């Protein structure tokens, strides 16, 4: 075994997919050193070594902060499922790895969220 690999699951407020996905990856990957966990980002430096070998993205289409972090992680060697480069070309968060001249950057979470993430009275997504 070459080493422990961690799969990060990046989700919003959904509650039906994450649990079974994490359980299945942890069960099937136990023999080969693969584990899964919820990915948590916040104020991450652009060139911070990635914690996850793979990130499964299920939220960056709604919150741009995650897209910027996922691009940086992908350039540092993390395999990202649901390619963040597909959405837009926003340059600066990836500048140092692509050799584009730009100032030192880091990404930070915003307080605003998409309307679709707010709960209704019954706790369902809109």
Write the pLDDT tens digit of every residue in 13-22: 888 999 999 9
Enclosing H/E stretch for 54: strand 54-57
What does the radius of gyration of the chain's CA atoms come to, in whole angstroms? 16
pLDDT of residue 112: 53
What are the pLDDT digits (tens) for 7-57? 999 998 888 999 999 999 999 999 999 999 999 887 767 777 888 999 999
Q: Residue 62 has what DSSP assignment? A: T
Question: pLDDT-derived band of residue 109, with 50, 70 and 90 as boundaries?
Answer: low
Contact at 8 Å (CB) between 15 and 46?
Answer: no
- Report pTM: 0.67
Q: Residue written as tokens 């939220």?
A: 59
pLDDT of 78 > 50? The answer is: yes
- pLDDT at position 100 is 53
Neighbours of 20 (CB within 10 A): 9
* Pair of tokens at residue 7: 């799969």
Report the pLDDT value the prediction gives residue 108, as an integer from 0 to 100: 63
CB contact burial 21-35 (16+ within 10 A = b; e otherwise): bbeebeeebeeeebe
Q: Which structure tokens are listed for 73?
A: 């992680």
Which strands sit side by side in the sheet containing 5-10, from one edge to the other?
Answer: 34-38, 5-10, 54-57, 79-81
């Amino acid at each position: 075994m070459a080493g422990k690999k961690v799969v990060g699951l990046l989700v919003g407020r959904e509650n039906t997919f994450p649990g079974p996905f994490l359980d299945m990856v942890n069960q099937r990957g136990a023999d080969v050193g693969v584990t899964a966990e919820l990915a948590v980002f916040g104020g991450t430096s652009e060139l911070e070594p990635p914690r996850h070998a793979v990130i499964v993205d299920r939220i960056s289409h709604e919150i741009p902060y995650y897209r910027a972090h996922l691009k940086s992680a992908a350039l540092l060697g993390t395999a990202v499922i649901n390619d963040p480069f597909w959405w837009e070309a926003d340059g600066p968060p990836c500048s140092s790895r692509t050799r584009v001249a730009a100032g030192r950057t880091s990404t930070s979470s915003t307080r605003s969220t998409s309307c679709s993430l707010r709960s209704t009275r019954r706790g369902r997504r809109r």
